[in-house]
């Protein structure tokens, strides 16, 4: 239960989260249908990477709904705990691991886009099977490392519990019994190595995938500017279109996932007394799955046309149904009038 002074704002963010979660699941299910549709074949094996991204954007909101995480800072510490159906230390570590998997998926999308742009002949080695295998291995390794880092590296100890417990009792009475987080400085002002190493591990993983994304992005831009492409105009347009969509798609996880979470984790380490409560970061994490799906569906031409024809067909059928109903009403009225005259 949240304290009375923050109850209204906390409840607002809670409703905001639930609406975004429901919208994200529905929208990404529609995206999965479009990816598996025949119109998706023009983008080749790339659609399997988009499929993995869409499945992750369904899985993440489900975990978010089950855990309903609270993410906040308190002086020299940051705290994460669950107040949903799953409220254990395992569940909040699972949540932390799930939202971190957006970065390796984005890195794979950029690697594929670089190969498709500069070395399209090598795409024969980037088949559907290899896409699935590479994504599975990368996510498996990243999941294992980050879960262990969250569960053990950010696991609470006696000193950190004594430090944040008054804050939890005041703001979240009855919640936060099994939290993860980091207390960076002890009572003597010395840095605590366990918390420092856990945060350096998080920063190293994010920096690694970010470096891949930046390298691929710069290489593609330089290639577009310096090389006179010999492929057909349709191929050029498709490659540029998919690259621009990917860049826009990258912006939302950066704004609503990476930067807020990196801030929560690193600000106390840097000695910045920035308050990120009540639950602003947790609410922001629910935005990007919905935005990612909308960007892909509206950005990819074949998906956009499929949606357009679907809604056009539905509206046409609705109009025909209303017209038939109106004609039937007229016929029934005419028949009743004739009967009364008879």
Cβ(164)–Cβ(79) below 8 Å: yes
Helix, strand, coil percentages (3-state) for the chain, rounded to 5, are: 75, 5, 15
User: Is the omega angle on the peptide bond into residue 278 within 30 degrees of 0, that is, cis?
Assistant: yes
pLDDT number for residue 240: 81
What's the CA gap between 277 and 69, in Å, rounded? Answer: 12
pLDDT number for residue 124: 74
What's the CA gap between 288 and 102, in Å, rounded? Answer: 10
Which CATH number describes the domain made up of 4-301? 1.20.1070.10
pLDDT per residue over 87-141, tens digit each?
Answer: 899 999 999 898 888 899 999 999 988 988 888 887 777 777 888 888 889 889 9
Q: What angle is formed at CA 17 by the lines to CA 84 and CA 20, rounded to 5 degrees?
A: 130
What's the CA gap between 1 and 18, in Å, rounded? Answer: 18
Tell me the average pLDDT across 219-225: 87
Q: Which of 175, 178, 166, 253 is nearest to 10 (CA)?
A: 175
pLDDT per residue over 240-289, tens digit each?
Answer: 888 888 888 888 888 888 888 888 899 899 887 676 666 778 888 889 89
Judged against a pLDDT cut of 80, whether residue 228 lies above it is answered with no
Q: Which two tokens stand for residue 171?
A: 């703001």
What's the CA gap between 83 and 302, in Å, rounded? Answer: 41
Q: Which two tokens stand for residue 334?
A: 């005419």
pLDDT per residue over 9-64, tens digit each?
Answer: 888 888 899 999 999 999 999 999 888 875 566 677 788 888 888 999 999 999 99
Q: Are strands 180-183 and 69-74 parallel, antiparallel or unpaired?
A: unpaired
Judged against a pLDDT cut of 50, whether residue 342 lies above it is answered with no
Instruction: Please list the residues that pair with 183 across neighbouring strands.
Output: 77
Helix (H) or strand (E) holding 329: helix 301-341
Q: Which two tokens stand for residue 329?
A: 């009403």
Judged against a pLDDT cut of 50, whether residue 330 lies above it is answered with no
Neighbouring residues of 191: CB distance < 8 A, sequence distance ≥ 6:
184, 185
pLDDT number for residue 280: 79
Full DSSP string of 81-110:
EE-SS--SHHHHHHHHHHHHTHHHHHHHHH
What's the CA gap between 171 and 6, in Å, rounded? Answer: 8
Cβ(280)–Cβ(122) below 8 Å: no
């Amino acid at each position: 239960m949240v304290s009375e002074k923050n109850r209204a704002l906390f409840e607002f963010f809670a409703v905001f989260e639930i609406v975004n979660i429901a919208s994200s699941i529905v929208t990404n299910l529609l995206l999965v249908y479009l990816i598996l549709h025949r119109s998706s074949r023009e983008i080749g094996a790339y659609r399997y990477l988009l499929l993995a991204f869409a499945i992750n954007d369904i899985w993440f909101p489900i975990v978010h709904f089950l855990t309903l995480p609270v993410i906040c800072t308190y002086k020299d510490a940051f705290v994460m705990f669950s107040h949903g159906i799953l409220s254990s230390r395992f569940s909040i570590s699972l949540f932390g691991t799930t939202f971190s998997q957006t970065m390796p998926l984005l890195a794979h999308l950029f690697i594929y886009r670089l190969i498709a742009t500069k070395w399209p002949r090598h795409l024969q080695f980037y088949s559907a099977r290899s896409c699935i295998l590479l994504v599975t291995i990368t996510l498996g390794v990243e999941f294992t490392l980050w879960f262990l880092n969250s569960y053990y590296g950010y696991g609470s100890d006696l000193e950190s519990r004594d430090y944040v417990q008054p804050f939890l009792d005041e703001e979240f009475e009855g919640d936060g019994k099994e939290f993860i987080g980091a207390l960076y400085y002890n009572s003597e002002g010395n840095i605590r190595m366990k918390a420092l190493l856990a945060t350096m591990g998080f920063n190293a993983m994010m920096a690694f995938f970010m470096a891949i994304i930046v390298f691929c992005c710069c290489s593609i831009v330089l290639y577009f500017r310096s090389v006179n492409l010999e492929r057909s105009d349709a191929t050029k347009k498709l490659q540029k279109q998919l690259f621009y969509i990917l860049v826009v798609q990258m912006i939302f996880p950066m704004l609503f996932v990476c930067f807020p979470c990196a801030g929560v984790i690193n600000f106390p380490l840097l000695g910045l007394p920035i308050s990120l409560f009540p639950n602003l970061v947790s609410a922001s994490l629910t935005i990007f799955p919905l935005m990612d799906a909308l960007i892909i569906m509206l950005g990819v031409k074949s998906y956009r046309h499929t949606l357009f024809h679907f809604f056009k067909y539905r509206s046409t059928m609705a109009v025909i149904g209303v017209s038939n109903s109106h004609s039937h009403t007229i016929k029934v009225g005419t028949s009743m009038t004739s009967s009364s005259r008879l």
